[in-house]
């Protein structure tokens, strides 16, 4: 899968969606305007009728055709209706969008989701965590939060979030209990494809826009309900108020009809967009796992179980297009169906499907998969999908073969499974603990130089306390066993725990970590990568909305691009000038405009350059990453340290980059 192509498709779909919803809103305005013309005309007649007895008698006796007609075109009324409709729809959509600003966790919690404890002893939950962790390592994205919908016995799942940094993956209890590991991996791969394709943000936009249109109908319903209550308590002497109440009631009825008609067409648009994306996600899941039987088996079980994928939570219908399968009964002959029929999806995966679905014998026991599989290994019975050998933890050079951004395939999944299993269990436990994860990161930046390390330990003792120092001593033997290629993935798995820290604990943690990094008066590429990844992803959680794209010109960021290529060229062993030239050759639009590489590595300049490049458009980021990759591979080999720096650069640009490929044996 091409990450940039997928993002471009998502942007194109968003543009179409905005156009369609703009037409829906314009239609709503038009309907509201004509309704307002009728209501105001009737209200004017009622008001004139009540102005005096003599005038009332003459008007009542007059033929209906003699009443003053209302003009169909009233510019002031049209402007008022347009502004009012746009204000209501816009404010309601913004309100709903603000509710989602907390990221995917807010969506999961809104439908009863429970965050999985990283230290859970439940084998089914442990298996789910390992599958998600392996897929996060393989794709290069931050480990998503993992939620379980405990009160949902059906088979379903969803991914939600504004960015890859605040994404969550949620599954129902039925998914845990009824699917094998391969089937669960297929479902999770489907959800990861939504994360990598940019579908999550589109889903949130859909929900917000539809809610904005629905609010018109809710206002109309509220007006009618309030009139009904006030009518019951009104005095019989209020003869002149009857016409006014009737006019207000007509306005409420108009809003009710117009709002729900707009909502109806909005749901049609939502369903059509969602169905197409599900086919693409199914295909991506097969591509990721190279195991059609995984996701195919999950779909067959949905078709075979009585509950299927139906959800019980009252709010699930509002986010029905988020889910892996149809979560509610579709009305209007399937026009509102957010997913294609299960049988159609199965045939798209298995063209020879004979129509026989899963015959459920009983709830699957999680111990069906033994603990070694829970740790991340696949069963030999899963087909010809052998797991590659583990990467050598020593800092050796690998062949310059890169998987593109957003990649996730068999080789990467197998390597991620082996890497995950090779991490010391004690360090994994610390990475999963909000209390221990900060100390783990302190340990990752400890210097090998004895004098510097003593200074760092003294800082930890004085700033974090004796308890932190004791924990660090406990982790020390395991930290010494780590190879360079294992450190950054460990940070990747620790990020979810670090995101849960309160601001009062987060600030001193960042300050101490920065002091430890600068204890030797220099910053290594690994330390830069660690801090950059940490700050980028934790900051994204505090404010998930992505930066506004402001730069579309390559020339506007030519100095910053030169800085990035220069730092990478100095980090790569070999001829610095040749490596820089290899990267510059990939940027034809900047031919002759890039300055020569700097005399040395300047990580401060790199940090400032990345801050500006983060607001550049996708084509600029894409070409920059291609050029950066050319620099790293210019000498025919790739070292862990320079690749970590490349991953930090990619993460700053919101581009998930897979880990370093397996080393040749």
Nearest to 383 by CA among 286, 295, 283, 291: 291
pLDDT digits (tens, 9 = 90+) for 133-190: 988 888 888 888 899 999 999 999 999 888 777 889 999 999 999 999 999 999 998 8
Mean pLDDT of 116-135: 90
Nearest to 534 by CA among 503, 505, 493: 493
Q: How far apart are CA 349 and CA 365, in angstroms?
A: 27
Which residue would you say has higher pLDDT here, 331 or 303? Answer: 303
No. of helices (H) and no. of strands (E), the chain: 25, 4
Query: Which DSSP state fits 56?
Result: H
Q: How far apart are CA 304 and CA 362, in angstroms?
A: 12
Q: How far apart are CA 385 and CA 97, in angstroms?
A: 42
Instruction: Cite the DSSP H helix spans in 353-436.
Output: 371-374, 410-422, 425-431
Residue-level pLDDT at 584: 92
- Range in 95-99, 126-130, 381-385, 496-500 with the lowest mean pLDDT: 381-385
Q: CB under 8 Å to 148, separation ≥6 — which residues?
A: 113, 114, 116, 125, 128, 170, 171, 172, 173, 176
425 — pLDDT class (breaks 50, 70, 90): very high
Q: How far apart are CA 18 and CA 299, in angstroms?
A: 32
pLDDT digits (tens, 9 = 90+) for 390-423: 444 444 444 445 555 555 555 567 777 888 888 9
pLDDT reading at 79 higher than 80: yes
pLDDT digits (tens, 9 = 90+) for 597-628: 877 788 888 989 998 998 888 889 888 988 99
Nearest to 163 by CA among 535, 622, 545, 496: 545
- Range in 93-97, 262-266, 283-287 with the lowest mean pLDDT: 262-266
Tell me the DSSP string of 200-221. HHHHHHHHHHHHHHHHHHHHHH
pLDDT reading at 503 higher than 70: yes
User: Residue for token digits 């591509």?
Assistant: 287
- The strands making up 145-149's β-sheet, listed across from edge to edge, are 114-115, 145-149, 168-172, 157-160
On the 0-12 / 13-18 / 19+ scale of CB atoms within 10 A, 39 is buried
Is 527 a residue of the active site?
no
Q: CB under 8 Å to 629, separation ≥6 — which residues?
A: 402, 646
**Structure-token pair, residue 69:** 């007609």
Residue-level pLDDT at 43: 54
Contact 170, 108 (CB under 8 A): yes
User: Residue for token digits 């982790």?
Assistant: 475
Residue-level pLDDT at 367: 44
Residues in a beta bridge with 157: 171
Q: How far apart are CA 552 and CA 465, in angstroms?
A: 49
Q: How far apart are CA 89 and CA 226, in angstroms?
A: 22
Contact 284, 2 (CB under 8 A): no
Mean pLDDT of 199-225: 77
Distances in whole angstroms, Cα of residue 625 to Cα of each of 405, 622, 654, 657: 9, 5, 11, 10
Mean pLDDT of 236-260: 65
Which residue would you say has higher pLDDT here, 595 or 436? Answer: 436
**Structure-token pair, residue 356:** 């026989």
pLDDT reading at 354 higher than 60: yes
Q: How far apart are CA 342 and CA 291, in angstroms?
A: 18
pLDDT digits (tens, 9 = 90+) for 8-38: 665 566 566 667 777 777 777 887 777 777 7
Residue-level pLDDT at 396: 44
Mean pLDDT of 266-285: 75
Nearest to 121 by CA among 371, 416, 494: 371
Residue-level pLDDT at 65: 45
Query: Which DSSP state fits 147?
Result: E
Contact 126, 164 (CB under 8 A): no
Which residue would you say has higher pLDDT here, 277 or 436? Answer: 436
Which residue would you say has higher pLDDT here, 389 or 263? Answer: 263
User: Residue for token digits 């009857």?
Assistant: 242
- Range in 311-320, 365-374, 634-643 with the lowest mean pLDDT: 365-374
Residue-level pLDDT at 387: 38
**Structure-token pair, residue 182:** 């391969």
pLDDT reading at 547 higher than 60: no
SS3 assignment, position 616: strand
Q: How far apart are CA 561 and CA 601, in angstroms?
A: 14
pLDDT reading at 231 higher than 90: no
**Conformational region of residue 161, where left means phi above 0, alpha means psi within -120 to 50, and beta covers everything else:** left
pLDDT reading at 653 higher than 60: yes
Q: How far apart are CA 635 and CA 644, in angstroms?
A: 17
Q: How far apart are CA 305 and CA 361, in angstroms?
A: 10
Residue-level pLDDT at 331: 59
**Structure-token pair, residue 536:** 């980028």
Query: Quick one: CA torsion of 503, 506, 508, 510, rounded to 10 degrees?
Result: -130
Q: How far apart are CA 533 and CA 445, in angstroms?
A: 14
Strand segments (E) across 339-405: none
- Range in 48-62, 148-162, 371-385, 568-582 with the lowest mean pLDDT: 371-385
Tell me the DSSP string of 285-346. HHHHHS-HHHHHHHHHHHHHSSSTT----TTGGGGGGGBSS--S---GGGTT-SS--HHHHH
Which residue would you say has higher pLDDT here, 501 or 169? Answer: 169
Question: Which phi and psi angles does 465 have, rounded to 5°?
Answer: 100, 170
Mean pLDDT of 191-208: 80
Which residue would you say has higher pLDDT here, 303 or 42? Answer: 303
Q: How far apart are CA 430 and CA 475, in angstroms?
A: 9
Residue-level pLDDT at 39: 66
pLDDT digits (tens, 9 = 90+) for 511-530: 999 999 999 888 888 888 88
Q: CB under 8 Å to 298, separation ≥6 — which residues?
A: 155, 179, 183, 184, 186, 187, 324
pLDDT reading at 479 higher than 90: yes
Q: How far apart are CA 208 and CA 26, in angstroms?
A: 17
Which residue would you say has higher pLDDT here, 563 or 73? Answer: 563
- Range in 57-66, 265-274, 586-595 with the lowest mean pLDDT: 57-66
Share of the chain above pLDDT 70, in %: 75
Which residue would you say has higher pLDDT here, 506 or 198? Answer: 506
Residues in a beta bridge with 115: 147
Q: How far apart are CA 306 and CA 40, in angstroms?
A: 53
Share of the chain above pLDDT 90, in %: 23
The residue from 125, 133, 191, 644 that is catalytic is 191
Question: Which phi and psi angles does 196 have, rounded to 5°?
Answer: -75, -25
Q: Which helix (H) or strand (E) holds 168?
A: strand 168-172
């Amino acid at each position: 899968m091409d990450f940039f192509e997928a993002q471009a498709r998502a942007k194109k779909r968003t543009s179409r969606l905005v156009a369609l919803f703009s037409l829906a809103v314009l239609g709503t305005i038009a309907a509201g305007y004509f309704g307002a013309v009728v209501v105001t005309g009737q209200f004017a007649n009622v008001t004139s009728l009540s102005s005096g007895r003599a005038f009332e008698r003459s008007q009542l006796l007059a033929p209906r055709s003699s009443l003053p007609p209302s003009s169909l075109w009233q510019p002031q009324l049209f402007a008022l209706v347009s502004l009012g409709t746009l204000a209501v729809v816009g404010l309601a959509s913004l309100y709903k969008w603000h509710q989602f600003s907390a990221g995917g966790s807010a969506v999961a919690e809104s439908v009863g989701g429970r965050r999985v404890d990283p230290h859970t002893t439940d084998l089914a939950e442990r298996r789910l965590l390992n599958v998600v962790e392996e897929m996060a390592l393989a794709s290069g994205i931050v480990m998503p939060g993992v939620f379980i919908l405990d009160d949902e016995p059906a088979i379903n799942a969803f991914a939600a979030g504004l960015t890859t940094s605040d994404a969550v993956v949620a599954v129902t209890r039925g998914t845990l209990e009824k699917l094998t590991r391969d089937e669960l991996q297929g479902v999770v791969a489907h959800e990861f494809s939504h994360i990598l394709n940019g579908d999550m943000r589109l889903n949130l936009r859909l929900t917000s826009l539809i809610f904005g249109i629905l609010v018109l109908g809710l206002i109309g319903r509220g007006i009618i309900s309030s009139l009904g209550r006030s009518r019951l308590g009104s005095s019989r002497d209020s003869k002149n108020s009857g016409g006014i109440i009737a006019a207000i009631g007509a306005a409420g009825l108009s809003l009710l009809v117009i709002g729900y008609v707009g909502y109806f067409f909005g749901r049609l648009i939502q369903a059509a967009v969602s169905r197409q994306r599900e086919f693409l996600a199914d295909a991506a899941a097969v591509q990721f796992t190279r195991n059609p039987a995984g996701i195919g088996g999950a779909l067959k079980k949905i078709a075979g179980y009585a509950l299927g994928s139906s959800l019980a939570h009252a709010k699930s219908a509002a986010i029905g297009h988020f889910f892996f399968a149809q979560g509610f009964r579709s009305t209007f002959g399937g026009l509102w169906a957010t997913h294609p029929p299960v049988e159609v999806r199965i045939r798209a995966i298995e063209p020879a499907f004979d129509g026989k679905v899963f015959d459920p014998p009983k709830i699957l026991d999680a111990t069906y998969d033994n603990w070694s599989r829970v740790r991340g290994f696949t069963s030999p019975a899963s087909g010809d999908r052998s797991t590659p050998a583990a990467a050598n933890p020593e800092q050796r050079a690998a062949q310059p073969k890169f998987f593109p951004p957003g990649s996730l395939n068999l080789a990467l999944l197998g390597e991620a499974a082996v890497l995950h299993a090779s991490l010391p269990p004690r360090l994994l436990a610390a990475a999963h603990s909000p209390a221990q994860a900060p100390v783990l990161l302190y340990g990752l930046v400890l210097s090998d130089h004895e004098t510097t390390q003593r200074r760092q330990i003294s800082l930890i003792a004085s700033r974090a306390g004796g308890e932190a120092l004791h924990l660090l001593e406990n982790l020390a033997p395991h930290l010494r066993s780590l190879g360079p290629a294992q450190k950054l993935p460990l940070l990747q798995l620790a990020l979810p725990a670090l995101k849960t820290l309160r601001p009062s604990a987060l600030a001193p943690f960042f300050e101490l970590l920065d002091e430890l990094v600068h204890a030797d008066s220099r910053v290594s590429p690994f330390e830069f990568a660690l801090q950059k990844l940490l700050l980028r992803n934790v900051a994204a959680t505090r404010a998930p909305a992505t930066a506004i794209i402001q730069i579309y010109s390559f020339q506007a960021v030519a100095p910053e691009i030169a800085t990035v290529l220069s730092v990478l060229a100095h980090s790569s062993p070999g001829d610095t000038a040749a490596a820089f030239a290899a990267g510059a050759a990939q940027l034809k639009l900047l031919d002759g405009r890039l300055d020569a590489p700097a005399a040395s590595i300047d990580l401060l300049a790199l940090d400032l350059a990345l801050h500006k490049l983060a607001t550049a458009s996708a084509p600029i980021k894409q070409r920059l990453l291609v050029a950066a990759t050319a620099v790293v591979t210019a000498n025919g080999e790739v070292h862990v340290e320079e690749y970590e720096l490349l991953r930090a650069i990619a993460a700053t640009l919101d581009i998930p980059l897979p880990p370093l490929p397996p080393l040749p044996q």
